[in-house]
Amino acid sequence: MAILRFNAIKESLNRKPVPVDESIRRSELFGKNVFNKEAMRQYLTSDSFDSIMDAIENGSKIDRDLADHISTGMKEWAISKGATHYTHWFQPLTGSTAEKHDAFFETTSDGRSIEKFGGGQLVQQEPDASSLPNGGIRNTFEARGYTAWDPTSPAFVWGTTLCIPTIFVAYTGEALDYKTPLLKSISALDKAATDVVKYFDKKESKVIATLGWEQEYFLVDTALAASRPDLMMSGRTLLGHAPAKGQQLDDHYFGSIPKRVLDFMRELEKECMLLGIPVKTRHNEVAPNQFELAPIFEEANLAVDHNSLIMDVMDKVAERHYFKVLFHEKPFKDVNGSGKHNNWSLATSSGSNLLSPGKTPMRNLRFLTFFVNTIKAVYENEELLRATIASASNDHRLGANEAPPAIISVFIGSQLTKVLDELEKVTDGKLSPQEKTDLKLNVVGKIPEILLDNTDRNRTSPFAFTGNKFELRAVGSTANCADPMTVLNAIVAKQLKEFKVEVDALVKDKKMKKDDAIFNVLREYIKASKSVRFEGDGYGEAWEKEAKRRGLSNYRTTPEALQAKISKKAIDLFTELNIMNEVEVKARFDIEIEDYSKHIQIEGRLLGDIARNHVIPTAIKYQNVLIKNVKGLKDIYGDQFKSMATEQLAIIERISTHIEKINAGINNMIEARKKANHTDDVTKRAHLYCDEVKPYFEDIRYHCDKLELLVDDEIWPLTKYRELLFTK
Ligand code: ADP
Ligand code: MG
């Protein structure tokens, strides 16, 4: 009897919902465990408070003496929230968050003890991070980097630890984390966008990128998950036959949320409120046991921190409700996968959304400027954007006949398509007063404040304009949003810089009026970037053909897609904007491409182990039962047995064939792995893993899944899809 599987099922069926106390209003809980403005006012001197605010708003440096005051205030506040430890909280290139906790507690020379947290400890730390990925930047003998406080993201207390968001940099100066380049891209974008926004309003002095992410995930009962070594070790099921009922009935999407899940969500949201994460939306997703969570958008750096934090919080809260959260992009074959939509926009310091049309023609010309520049930026850099969403796990989604395709295109809706078509016809050179009036009244002025057809938007587009923001839908559910956001900020920053140069040149050299110059440059951009715009069905084969004709890239696998990250164009982009230098760009590429190989290697080993240690022995056990049965029939009925044992004999043979195929597949896969491991070239190795190791997965899985259908359910050791997906 498959003890673990049946015990797990029994355990999961006996679960009782874990009660959640929601007696305190959310608005009262919000930000309670965050060292926000309110807490700072209470715990800091006005000098310290002003210096932090100046650092947040203008990027100024915080004086060392003041840092001592700030750390003391922060410590007192944290202790009042029950904190005993502090940590520099950062996002190394592993994809998760890192922390090393130190107690506030210290002893004094006379044997007493005190709680201490100095300015030095707040501002800078040296984690022994020699085993975090660095892409060869730091030699291990000097494996030292430091973390440095990022005052733009507020400190918070999570559990009993004061967490201080930090960047992580090598002693030689190169960034070793996601946050550093993100912050630099935000500041590059601020500079470029502020220069452009001044065409429309001289008073504007700052532009921020905003991000609202939507996080999809699956929940599986902890006991059931624990009975699946593949889920536990690789985050996805490497085998398992599709259940008789899948998502065909679409009865899960937006359906009522199961009670146990709802309790998990309620507690999660409560924790989020305390941590100042403004979660707002929760609902079921397309697949059974799949859900989504989304906050109100925030400034991009904070939003990225909040997404990283929430993934950690989700894991911990889920444990209390006996769930395991699956963040993997494709935990179950033939079942809808998970993504992380990144809604992105630009806002001025006065809170005005630059990607939102308005009431006046001037406001709409500003909107069109940022709108068209973003499309042009995506057109120019579609390969780089595609590269930022590439990972071994996201390969299962992209282009696999499921949202979204591996081709980057932009959807804008029919209303805006019409507007851009009109703008394409603008006269070359100076505009007549008549034309200008006409444009302002009938084209630009006609853009409605709310773009109706964008409410019914094209779900198959990887980069869609959704009324007042762009939505990058191709990001993987396990990904850190920082990388795609860094690239999006960077390409738009570069594009806006170029735009400014071109407009200024027309004004200066061609003596054009500013508006005329803007119309002229936009016209050229609209024409140039037309091929990246696509309004049709992104899933079909027709689009692949059409995209190829248009010259758009279509990289189906990570090793192919990643190359764009180290193209000359990408390196020039990052260095020009001072976001990363060449060493940093290449180091990141090395980390990612090696990460790809490691992922496939681990999955290959796991699949081999599970097939050999679980599947084959079980199949043999069942085959022996059949053999005994056939022998018995022969004993009793003599020669007549054959007609009575036809089916059994056929199954015995089929089992043998499948076992043989599985063994051959594993042997060949091991050989292919050896070959891949032999090469020192990281790119070549990734391609070998992709093209020569990975194809065996399907093959081995096919025969294992066939055995799952043949073998007696009573002895099958691996929890089945129907149990993983439909047990509440
Ligand atoms: P959906 O139908 O995809 O859920 P919503 O309009 O509800 O669309 O928004 C989805 C996400 O977009 C939310 O996380 C929201 O915070 C975010 N969002 C809305 N406006 C902006 C903006 N200006 N900048 C960035 N994100 C935004
Ligand atoms: Mg969305």
Structure tokens given for 493: 């920053």
Distance CA 408, CA 378 (A): 8
Nearest 10 degrees: Cα torsion 326, 331, 332, 338: 80
3-state secondary structure of 479: coil
Strands 340-348 and 113-115: unpaired
Looking at residue 611, its pLDDT comes to 98
**β pairing state of 290-295 and 207-221:** antiparallel
Name residue, tokens 């390196």: 571
Question: Which residues place a Cβ less than 5 A from the ion ligand 2?
Answer: 214, 341
Predicted pLDDT of residue 404: 67
Residue 294 CB less than 6 A away from ligand 1: yes
Distances (CA, A) of 147 to 89, 98, 104, 167: 9, 11, 18, 5
Does residue 340 line the site of ligand 1, with CB under 6 A?
no
Task: Report yes or no: 389 and 440 within 8 Å, Cβ to Cβ.
Answer: no
Number of helices and strands in the chain (H, E): 27, 17
Q: What is the pLDDT of residues 591-626, one digit of tens each?
A: 999 999 999 999 999 999 999 999 999 999 999 999
Q: Is residue 467 lining ligand 1, measured as CB closer than 6 Å?
A: no
Domain ranges of the chain: 31-177, 187-237+247-580, 595-726
> Which pLDDT value is given to residue 541?
85
425-482: per-residue pLDDT in tens? 999 999 999 999 999 888 888 888 777 666 556 788 899 999 999 999 999 999 999 9
**For ligand 1, is residue 417 a contact (CB within 6 Å)?**
no
Query: Phi and psi for 575 in degrees, rounded to 5?
Result: -70, -40
CB-ligand 1 contact for 297 (6 Å cutoff)? yes
- Return the minimum-mean-pLDDT range out of 118-127, 186-195, 495-504: 118-127
Distances (CA, A) of 580 to 173, 175, 390: 11, 8, 19
What's the N-to-C CA distance of the chain in angstroms? 24
The residue to which tokens 């697949």 are assigned:
287
Ligand 1: nearest atom to the Cα of 347: 23
358-389 pLDDT, tens per residue?
Answer: 888 889 999 999 999 999 999 999 999 999 99
31-177: CATH architecture: Roll (3.10)
CB of 354 sitting under 6 A from ligand 1: no
Would the ipTM clear 0.90, i.e. be above it? yes
Q: What is the pLDDT of residue 504?
A: 98
Q: Measuring CA to CA, which residue among 272, 295, 296, 382 is closest to residue 34?
A: 272
Q: What was the pLDDT predicted at 244?
A: 78
CB 18, CB 320: distance < 8 Å: yes
> Which residue, by CA, sits nearest to atom 2 of ligand 1?
455
C-alpha closest to that of 218 among 683, 725, 677: 725
Residue 724, pLDDT score: 94
Specify the residue with its C-alpha closest to ligand 1, atom 23. Answer: 345
Model confidence pLDDT, tens digit, residues 672-690? 999 999 999 999 999 999 9
Secondary structure (3-state) at 165: strand
Question: Where does 595-726 sit in CATH, by number?
Answer: 1.20.120.1560
C-alpha 269 chain-centroid distance: 20
Q: Is the CB of 468 under 6 A from ligand 1?
A: yes
Q: How far is the CA of 608 from the centre of ligand 1 (A)?
A: 43
Within its chain, how far is the Cα of 359 from the centroid?
35
pLDDT tens digits, residue range 398-408? Answer: 866 565 679 99
| Architecture of the domain whose range is 187-237+247-580 | 2-Layer Sandwich (3.30)
Cα→Cα distances 197→72, 166, 207, 666, Å: 40, 30, 8, 60
Q: Which residue has the higher pLDDT, 249 or 16?
A: 16
Between strands 85-89 and 161-170, the pairing is parallel
Q: What secondary structure letter does DSSP report for 539?
A: T
Pairing of strands 113-115, 105-107: antiparallel
Q: Rounded CA gap, 629 and 420, in Å?
A: 75
- Confidence (pLDDT) at 142: 46
Q: Which of 213, 253, 292, 297 to mutate to test the pocket of ligand 1 (most atoms within 8 A of CB)?
A: 297
Asked whether 278 lines ligand 1 (CB < 6 A), one says no
Partners of 107 in the β-ladder: 113
Question: Taking the model in full, what pTM does it have?
Answer: 0.95
SS3 state of residue 292: strand
Q: For residue 340, give the ligand nearest its CA.
A: 2
Burial status of residue 329 (CB atoms within 10 A of its CB: 0-12, 13-18, 19 or more) = buried
Q: Hey, what long-range contacts does 587-592 have (CB within 8 A, 24 or more apart)? A: 587/134, 587/135, 587/136, 587/137, 587/174, 588/93, 588/135, 589/135, 589/562, 589/565, 590/135, 590/136, 590/682, 591/93, 591/133, 591/134, 591/135, 592/390, 592/391, 592/558, 592/562, 592/565
CA atoms in the 13 A half-sphere facing the CB of 485: 34
